[in-house]
Amino acid sequence: MKVTKLEHAALLIEASGKTLLIDPGSLTTPVTEPGQAVAIVITHEHADHWSPDQLNRILSKVPRVPIYGPAGVAAAAEGFDVIVVAEGDTIEADPFTLQFFGSAHAEIHHTVPVPGNVGVLVNDRLFYPGDAFTVPGVPVDTLAVPASAPWMKLGEAMDYLAEVAPKRAFPTHDMLLSAAGRGLHNARLAEAMAAAGGEYLPLEPGQSIDI
């Protein structure tokens, strides 16, 4: 299974000639080559994780690809057919098995509403939490760890790596960082990953790993 990090929070996953797209949002370069997509997962309703333009681009290439997301996404994505998923659900989108964990976005501030959020475990290997520090409670081979956001501080991401203890991790949700900031955050996350006994891969947009 090949995982390609796109800008910000978006991932493109390939297996057996098919693709899975996760969180193609407004801070991500237009997705014009979705491949033979069999599913789109949107973890929550915020615009940096999905946009009508991104979905329309993908659907223009793969018209019948199903879109999965929590109830808030279905309500926000007016005009799109979103299949609602929640914690505990499992979806088969051959060749991908998608298991969903968690129910709420991390709190930004007590004055800001907290939307629903689901993390997704892909083929029992890759866990992507969306905008939360959800611990799935199952072994995680590879973790897409949030590196920066209005709802987190770096130390929380470091603690999250220690708690999940994956074999390897790479950063996501990092478009708000400057080049210098990415370097600083990656260095700290690499330290935390090493302390947890795993490998940290500071992927840049367009780079891939095989897991």
pLDDT of residue 131: 98
Percent of the chain with pLDDT over 70: 100
Look at residues 129, 118, 131, 55 and name the one whose alpha carbon lies nearest to residue 90: 118
Average pLDDT over residues 44-71: 97
Residue range 178-205, pLDDT digits in tens: 999 999 999 999 999 999 999 999 999 9
Give 97's pLDDT tier (boundaries 50, 70, 90).
very high
Q: Which residues contact 186 (CB under 8 A, 6 or more apart)?
A: 147, 171, 200, 202
pLDDT of residue 84: 98
Give 55's pLDDT tier (boundaries 50, 70, 90).
very high
For the chain, what is the total number of helices (H) and then of strands (E)? Answer: 4, 14
pLDDT of residue 156: 98
Residue range 118-157, pLDDT digits in tens: 999 999 999 999 999 999 999 999 999 999 999 999 999 9
Question: Which pair of tokens denotes residue 105?
Answer: 């976005």
Average pLDDT over residues 58-67: 97
Look at residues 151, 153, 203, 152 and name the one whose alpha carbon lies nearest to residue 4: 203
Q: How far apart are CA 126 and CA 128, in angstroms?
A: 7
Give 104's pLDDT tier (boundaries 50, 70, 90).
very high
Structurally, at CATH architecture level, domain 2-210 sits in 4-Layer Sandwich (3.60)
Q: Where are the domains of the chain?
A: 2-210
pLDDT of residue 206: 96
Give 61's pLDDT tier (boundaries 50, 70, 90).
very high
- Contact indicator for 117, 132 with CB cutoff of 8 Å: yes
Residues 171-197 as b/e (b if ≥16 CB within 10 A, e otherwise) read: bbbbbebeeeebeebbebbbebbeebe
Mean model confidence pLDDT for the chain? 97
